[in-house]
Structure 1
Amino acid sequence: MSALDELLEEDEPSASSTPEGRSACPFRVFFKDARNMFKMDELASEIAQIAFPAALALTADPIASLVDTAFIGQIGPVELAAVGVSIAVFNQVSRIAIFPLVSVTTSFVAEEDAASKMAAEELESIDYEEPFSENSEMKELVPHSDPSKTMYRSSVSSDISTNMEKIEHERKHIPSVSSALVIGGILGLLQALFLIFGAIPILNFMGVKSDSPMLTPACQYLTLRSLGAPAVLLSLATQGVFRGLKDTKTPLYATVAGDATNIILDPIFIFVFNLGVSGAAIAHVISQYLIAVILLWRLLRQVDVLPPSMKDLQLGRFLKNGFLLLARVVAATFCVTLAASMAARQGSIPMAAFQICLQVWLASSLLADGLAVAGQAILANAFTRRDLRKATAAAARVLQWGMVLGLVLCALLGVGLQFASNLFTKDASVLQLIHIGVPFVALTQPINALAFVFDGINFGASDFAYSAYSMASPCGHC
């Protein structure tokens, strides 16, 4: 049973106590409080404040990749196809590490932050004036107008206020943050070494053989871009932390700054310095390190990232849940990587068209991931506080918004991509293949949106096992 089924059973036990009620759960949630779907109440405001910046941050990198694609497309279809294969390889390896790390980090940080806030609230609720209440014994011992009593009470009250101010301004101690950064840094280094030393064999496996004109530019791009893998893993782990703290604006600002730098440097390195695909890779690496530096700088001001001891690190907890999601990530990205490999084997023209369609598909699909981030953060916080009513309402609302978003994206891409494809290439053969792929890019948007949001709900409930089994096995939802 998924986290969503459990939420609905808690909310409406009588309706889901029968087999018929339980089977209707996945559909009933879309109509729960549907009349309030677009009402900007407190819940909608909280979702929007998290989801909108998160969606912009998530789509900023694919948009930057689209700009890369547009610049590289001006060089030629061979270079565009070569970069497409390299990006597919880089993304496949990255997501195996990134997706479990970010998803687990967001949930754990949200839970620990909620728990620390609950502890602080309990501390504030203590009645510090009670020892000085004027009961009969105190009246006998201390006169009502005794100045010493007044001074003592004033001193204690002042000390309490000072301590509370220190608590509010001091950096938070969240063990999951340290664990995420350690794991992110190690995985980033391993990914860089794997891709740099295995670039040619991996590209050969992807269908780019030694006699292919795509091999040299693909190898150059993949090797150089792999140098940015540590920055990518660290920055995304840090983004997971900020999402758990319900702060999606900081990752947005950092990502926009980095991607703007990438867009500015692209034409300079590609055309002015005449570096071609190598220039595009160098610009991308610089932007990734800039994003990582900004995020770490902001994080150090809010959270104490150095654990008091190694025992405070939660590496076992991270690895256990991360491995559960590993099978899910492999299953989810295998199809994309296989499709890229098949396109590469068809030649540079099909691969160039596939690269453009894939980048558009990713950029649009990730808009729904902003809703997933909001659902995950709110649900994790609500579960920690045992507020099941809010968790149920948030799950229903993000699913409803996800369904509407998917339909809107379907309509926009179905019409817009027919005309926008000329921005990426002028090659008539590539454009013809892109127009064939437009219906597939557009019609999958509603499915993608709901899939992302369902993931966010399960992750918010720390139900990583169900998410993994449901993706890896056709019977996982039973």
Structure 2
Amino acid sequence: MEELLPQSDSTSKSSFTDTSFGKMADLDNKRRYIPSASSALVIGSILGILQTLFLIFSAKPILNYMGVKSDSPMLMPAQKYLTLRSLGAPAVLLSLAMQGIFRGFKDTKTPLYATVVGDASNIILDPLFIFVFRMGISGAAIAHVISQYLISLILLWRLMSQVDLLPPSIKDLKFERFLKNGLLLLVRVIAVTFCVTLAASLAARHGATSMAAFQVCLQIWLATSLLADGLAVAGQAILASAFARADYEKAVSTASRVLQLGLAMGLVLSVVLVTGLQFASRLFTEDAGVLHLISVGIPFVAVTQPINALAFVFDGINYGASDFAYSAYSMVLVAVVSIVCLCALSSTYGFIGIWIALTIYMTLRTFAGFLRIGAGMGPWGFLNN
């Protein structure tokens, strides 16, 4: 945290002169060199390129694993979409890395503005490429890739005005310090991604109708739940500062407040989705079979919103307390249990079984976050005193 905080000197008011003011302004305007920022961008670029190559050359096997067989009508469009979308992987990882850097600066406005501009361009380009230029699913993928690179360019432009990203030498990147916590978070991301990916794969194995309905429900489920991520980010930044100063009273009050706000947000989202999603589902499709399955999934999407919101807020609290090891290992345990539930319930109850398993998955994530604080373990051990 010390690398990310601007340095200041204690100077008496009487010593301030026009010259000292000028020197302070020059110091504020001077770009800082932060090793972790440069390391994040280098690693993000490398991982993005590797991910692109992997997805391009393994698109068909991946889709076969996802349940899209060689004779499925979904194979060709899915393979084309996945291949084109993979070209945006470097931009996605770079933008995520830079958003993390700005969070370290407690600057949440810049990522917000960049994301809004990128998403707005995607909204504009989607119908243009799909319908006007008649590019179909390829147009949707290209529009998304363009929007991701636009977000990355905006963030990079803003970051370069504040941080000197070119290290004096390779040794100055300090990959060891960066990778210590980065690998733990990578393990956690893999566990989270595998659970959601497996759920999509199981839905695809039940046919195109099941897959279409599942994707509509899943995207709404994730999009609304991620609204709580804003609270998690704010809580993470404030908690990190509180723990750095050993201000445990502020840590407790911050954690309590963001959890309360997260629960309130989840309850509001539940009401909105229950009342509105039944009618809004027709915006996505007119297929009767898909609409029927969407109506089956709506109760799960709506009722789990408070649970999902709390899960995301607990993630932010754990990150703010630098409790990365617990976040990773608990998520792996949650993933193992959830994978067993997904396979068992999907084969028994089909589409409904998948959503029951996902509800169990998010409930376990929330319980894991609550257990750490409730039992006063790890960085929260001071609660037992």
- Above 0.5 in TM-score? yes
Residue 290 (structure 1) shift: 0.9
TM alignment of 1:47-446, pairs within 5 A: 111-114=2-5, 117=6, 119-120=7-8, 123=9, 125-127=10-12, 157-446=17-306
Max radius of gyration: which structure?
Answer: 1
> Is 1:448 aligned to residue 308 of structure 2?
yes
The letter of the residue matching 2:4 is: D
Structure 2 runs not aligned, ≥5 long: 335-367, 376-385
The letter of the residue matching 2:226 is: L
SS in 2 for 1:425: coil
The letter of the residue matching 1:312 is: D
Work out the CA distance in 2 between the residues paired with 1:113 and 1:331: 29
Work out the CA distance in 1 between the residues paired with 2:18 and 2:171: 36
**Normalising to structure 1: TM-score of the pair?**
0.68
Q: Hey, what does 1:84 align to over in structure 2? A: none
Deviations 1:6-42 (A, max 9, x none): xxxxxxxxxxxxxxxxxxxxxxxxxxxxxxxxxxxxx
Work out the CA distance in 2 between the residues paired with 1:329 and 1:265: 30
Work out the CA distance in 1 between the residues paired with 2:2 and 2:298: 41
SS in 1 for 2:262: helix
The letter of the residue matching 1:283 is: A
Tell me which moved more, 452-461 or 159-168. 159-168
The letter of the residue matching 1:186 is: I
Residue 163 (structure 1) shift: 2.0
Bigger relative CO (Cα 8 Å, ≥ 6 apart)? 1
Work out the CA distance in 1 between the residues paired with 2:61 and 2:155: 34
Deviations 1:362-390 (A, max 9, x none): 11000011111001111112222333322
Residue 284 (structure 1) shift: 0.8
Alignment length (residue pairs): 338
Deviations 1:299-336 (A, max 9, x none): 11122212233333132122121222233223222221
Work out the CA distance in 2 between the residues paired with 1:167 and 1:160: 10
Residue 470 (structure 1) shift: 2.0
**Alignment RMSD, CA only?**
1.9
The letter of the residue matching 2:154 is: I
The letter of the residue matching 2:172 is: D
Work out the CA distance in 2 between the residues paired with 1:222 and 1:390: 45
The letter of the residue matching 1:113 is: L
Work out the CA distance in 2 between the residues paired with 1:334 and 1:293: 29
Deviations 1:211-232 (A, max 9, x none): 1111000000000010111111
Residue 184 (structure 1) shift: 0.9
Does the 8 Å contact 1:111/1:380 carry over to 2?
no
Does the 8 Å contact 1:262/1:284 carry over to 2?
yes
Deviations 1:325-363 (A, max 9, x none): 233223222221111111111111110001100110011
Residue 111 (structure 1) shift: 4.8
Work out the CA distance in 1 between the residues paired with 2:237 and 2:56: 36
Structure 1 runs not aligned, ≥5 long: 1-109, 130-152
Tell me which moved more, 287-296 or 319-328. 319-328
Does the 8 Å contact 1:207/1:344 carry over to 2?
yes
Work out the CA distance in 2 between the residues paired with 1:261 and 1:217: 23
Work out the CA distance in 1 between the residues paired with 2:192 and 2:148: 24
The letter of the residue matching 2:25 is: E
Deviations 1:163-222 (A, max 9, x none): 222111212332221111111111110110110111011111111111111100000000
Work out the CA distance in 2 between the residues paired with 1:170 and 1:202: 47
Work out the CA distance in 2 between the residues paired with 1:358 and 1:224: 22
The letter of the residue matching 1:439 is: P
Work out the CA distance in 2 between the residues paired with 1:301 and 1:330: 33
